[in-house]
Amino acid sequence: MKNKVVITCAVTGSIHTPTMSPHLPVTPDEIAEQSIAAAEAGAAILHLHAREPKTGKPSADPDVFMAFLPRIKQATDAVLNISTGGSSQMTLAQRLAPAMRAEPEMCSLNMGSMNFGIFPMKDAYAEWTHDWEPGFLEATRDVVFKNTFADIEHILAALGEGCGTRFEFECYDTGHIQTLAWYRRQGLLKGPLFLQFVMGVLGGIDAAPEQLVHMKATADRLLGGDYHFSVLAAGGRQMGLGTMGVVMGGNVRVGLEDSLTIRRGELARSNAEQVAKIRRIVEELGHEIATPDEARSLIGLKG
């Protein structure tokens, strides 16, 4: 029997800037409100970052996370998934601090080091950062989003073994699936694994249907049946490739972290609007969406 479809909503992220959309949640209140509405609209999993309330700059401060996590937990039963990617400008210790404090059911785990191209968004960054950090964006051209084997093992030990957290394995290219399969063969990972195919980040695989077929074929070959996948396509391919992933038997991630629009040329007014749209598509295709508890049992979360 086909599993129900797990919708993840990535609520704010660290890539988009407040100058790109007035609807991007920035303060703890805004993040909490939009997360709760996204869960009510059908998101079983909420993937969460934090931002400095005044500037909107990505924040790794556990206190900022704790200003919205308990509120979301109290108002919904959604799975809370805390980013360990943070932003490519943070150290690993900074990236892990919020999750080490919250000990969530789920965290992201980025499966390889890479270039991470945010410099094409230069106008929005110029407008946003001019007061607090001139030259910020140009400097990111020389930054590696660092996720070495040692980093991955550290996260698995600290959060996986230490806290019973399970992971959204972020795979930005087929090589990341090979790394995941290697750790599985070493006995460091217990299935079923939950893979997020991250498509369309400059530096990773591009967001094209052929590439999604290739990612899925690679995962099938290297992981057998011991995994579930979800599709995240950055920017304008979000809904199209997400839908294709569902048709291929997978799950889907939406949210303003990954795309600011609801359709070409039109800003989404909220995360919930994107969740509601993908939910309509999923249901029109004849699938049911998973509740948070159904997502927990699919992924083997501690609950």
Q: Give the 3-state DSSP-derived string for 238-287, with helices as H, strands as E and coil as C.
A: HHHHHHHHHHCCCEEEECCCCCCEEECCEECCCHHHHHHHHHHHHHHCCC
Regarding 271 and contact with Zn ion (CB under 5 A), the answer is no
Regarding 81 and contact with Zn ion (CB under 5 A), the answer is no
Which among 9-17, 21-29, 66-74, 218-226 is the span making contact with ligand KMH, rule CB under 6 A?
A: 9-17
C-beta closer to ligand KMH: residue 110 or 243: 110
Name the CA radius of gyration of the chain, rounded.
18
For residue 128, give Cα distances in angstroms to 99, 111, 132: 27, 30, 9
Pairing label, strands 251-254, 227-233: parallel
Beta bridge partners of 58: 51
C-beta closer to ligand KMH: residue 236 or 287: 236
C-alpha span between 107 and 130 (Å, rounded) = 32
Judged by DSSP in three states, 59 sits in strand
Regarding 83 and contact with Zn ion (CB under 5 A), the answer is yes
Pairing label, strands 45-48, 266-267: unpaired
Listed in sequence order, the DSSP H helices in 190-237 are 209-223
Q: Tell me the closest approach of the beta carbon of residue 197 to ligand KMH, in angstroms.
A: 11
Q: Tell me the closest approach of the beta carbon of residue 88 to Zn ion, in angstroms.
A: 11
Regarding 15 and contact with ligand KMH (CB under 6 A), the answer is yes
- Residue 170 interface partner, choices ligand KMH, Zn ion, none, CB cut-off 5-8 Å depending on type: ligand KMH
Which x/- pattern over 78-117 shows residues binding ligand KMH (rule: CB under 6 A)?
-----xxx----------------------x-x-------
Regarding 170 and contact with ligand KMH (CB under 6 A), the answer is yes
* Residues at the interface with Zn ion (CB under 5 A): 83
* Residues at the interface with ligand KMH (CB under 6 A): 10, 13, 15, 83-85, 108, 110, 170, 198, 201, 257
